[in-house]
Chains A and B, each alone.
Chain A
Amino acid sequence: MNPLRRLRELYAYRDLVKNLVSRDLKLRYRNSVLGFAWCLLNPLLMMVVFTVVFTVLLTNNTIEKFPVFILTGILAWNLHTTALTGAINSVVGNANLVQKVYFPREVLVIATVLSNTVNFLLSLIVLFAMVLLYQVRLTDTLIFLPLVILVQVVFTLGVAFVLSALNVFYRDVASIMETLMLAWFFMTPIFYRIEDVFPVYSRLMYILNPPASIIAAYRDILYYGSITNLDFFTRTAATSVLVFVVGYAFFVRLSRSFAERL
């Protein structure tokens, strides 16, 4: 099928994406007392944990306004990790549907990533509250925030496409990713500053690890209140688009035999 027709077909199924996203969000908080409040409480509690560890238990910390610093990192990372782990199982977990009904399979991955994105957007409320509380001086670079979010979503989608398709053929993917995500977490400047890393490594980190530069961009905007290095961010955006295109093509190619291999 040619790419243009595939995209048009995907567009025809936009209601399915919408319904799957709302199903996800509804089910996530159904049968819980606090419901939607959890998407605010969770990041807040994580922030407290990290702040206690890095400012009370370890006292050699020189990072100012640590709660805001850590929260920008945690929220972005949470989106990354929840979207990816959810997406890896999105095709396998809907095996019954994939074997019984035809629809463009990428819908499952897109819906998982988007529902986690909605969750992320809601949790930004907490971040802005902390930004106000700690009197971070926001500048007009704030208008770049939607762009950074978009780049992150595009990158996550690309990786999610590859992993979810591979997981249909080798379930080992889901298992190994549990460990790899932990390694990825430590390799990304979330609870430390990238400036504190040995320069050779920090350079590599920026080049090889898009989440590192995405988180740096979030921090520039929401923590330092400074202009993010546009030149550099453009490169990250280009990498993300590339990952997305390759990932999507890979997924579409493998998706033909999903029904047989599930």
Chain B
Amino acid sequence: MAAIQFENVSKRYVLHHLRPRSLQELLVSLVGRKPLALETLEDFWALRDLSFTVEPGETVGIVGHNGSGKSTILKMVAGIFSPTQGKVTVSGKVSALIELGAGFHPDLTGRENVYLFGSIMGINGKEMKRRFDGIVSFAELEQFIDEPVKHYSSGMYMRLGFATALSVDADILLIDEVLSVGDAHFQEKCLQAIEGLQQRGMTILIVSHQLDLLQRFCGRALLMEHGHLVGYGPTDSILERYEHA
């Protein structure tokens, strides 16, 4: 069975344009029969008739210009968005590195935030306790773990976010533009950690504009254009098409 399967998936967003209204317009609409439109609605299709499968243990990259639907795909796999049409099938537990430190509260200490984030990902306290030391040492924050995270530098914040999210035991990992964390040393450490997950057979989806990273990790890649899937194949040939598009 495929780890991720999209069957003819479309996603429509309804854009709500708030219209600035004048008093005159308001009065006219009160007198007239036409109901007053507080906002105008416009449909926007973020994804159109998308079909693809990702096999278990595979690492797939997603490329495309801004607004082509890359992040929408990840959010649908994560279960944050539901498809307007079609069917998304995901087998296994999903962990998302969509925004590092989402869910961290500035007034809580690093320690408290790690446990809070663990429970947001559905991991119980006992399990989190077991992983805690590993997370702290990966983030290299032993000295600051009992400080409120509002006193962290942005690098420290990201490191803790990355280490925590990475410790989640999932079958499928989603990565959205978060691979450039911290200094060169920490970045390399993160990349090696992801390689470790690959070797353990985790299915990974990566959205990135860093093409060298996609080349390093992904066997196959998806090329997106305005919500349409225009190519799915070996990373090299997809990246070549993307660069010449």
Contact = CB atoms under 8 A, between A and B. Distances in A.
Interface of A: 12-13, 15-16, 18-20, 23, 26-27, 30, 96-103, 256-257, 259-260
A114 B120 CA distance: 17
Contacts of B217: none
B66 interface: no
Nearest to B46: A260
18 contacts: A15-B123, A18-B125, A19-B115, A19-B116, A20-B116, A23-B116, A26-B108, A26-B112, A27-B105, A96-B102, A96-B103, A97-B120, A100-B96, A100-B98, A101-B102, A102-B78, A256-B82, A259-B81
B180 interface: no
Interface string B66-83: 000000000100111110
Given A96-B102, A102-B78, A102-B79, A15 B107 contact: no
Contacts, number: 65
Contacts of B119: 13, 15-16, 18-19
Interface in B99-144: 99, 102-103, 105, 107-108, 112, 115-116, 118-125
A19 B111 CA distance: 12
Given A97-B102, A99-B80, A260-B81, A13 B107 contact: no
Given A23-B105, A23-B112, A30-B107, A101 B81 contact: no
Given A23-B105, A259-B81, A103 B112 contact: no
Contact of A259 (B75, B99, B102, B103): B75
B173 to A, nearest CB: 14
Nearest to B80: A259
Residue of B98, B99, B122, B124 with highest tally of chain A CB at under 10 A? B122
Contacts of B123: 15
Contacts of B75: 259
A103 B105 contact: no
Contact of A260 (B13, B96, B99): B13
Contacts of A13: 119, 122
B12 to A, nearest CB: 10
Interface in B1-43: 13
Contacts of B94: 102
Contacts of A98: 80
A19 B103 CA distance: 12
A157 B121 CA distance: 24
Interface residues of B, number: 27
Given A19-B116, A259-B81, A103 B122 contact: yes
Contacts of B99: 96, 100
B103 A100 contact: yes
Contacts of B82: 256-257
B76 to A, nearest CB: 10
A111 to B, nearest CB: 11
B103 A101 contact: yes
B96 A15 contact: no
Nearest to A259: B80
Nearest to B102: A100
Given A96-B102, A100-B99, 15 more contacts: A15-B119, A19-B115, A19-B125, A23-B105, A23-B108, A27-B108, A97-B102, A97-B120, A98-B80, A100-B96, A101-B80, A101-B102, A101-B121, A256-B82, A260-B81
Nearest to B82: A256
A18 B112 CA distance: 12
A57 B220 CA distance: 79
A32 B103 CA distance: 24
Contacts of A15: 118-119, 123-125
Nearest to A15: B119
A96 B107 CA distance: 16
A154 B107 CA distance: 31
A-B interface, 9 closest residue pairs, ranked by CB to CB distance from nearest:
A100-B102, A16-B119, A102-B79, A15-B119, A19-B119, A259-B80, A100-B99, A15-B124, A19-B116
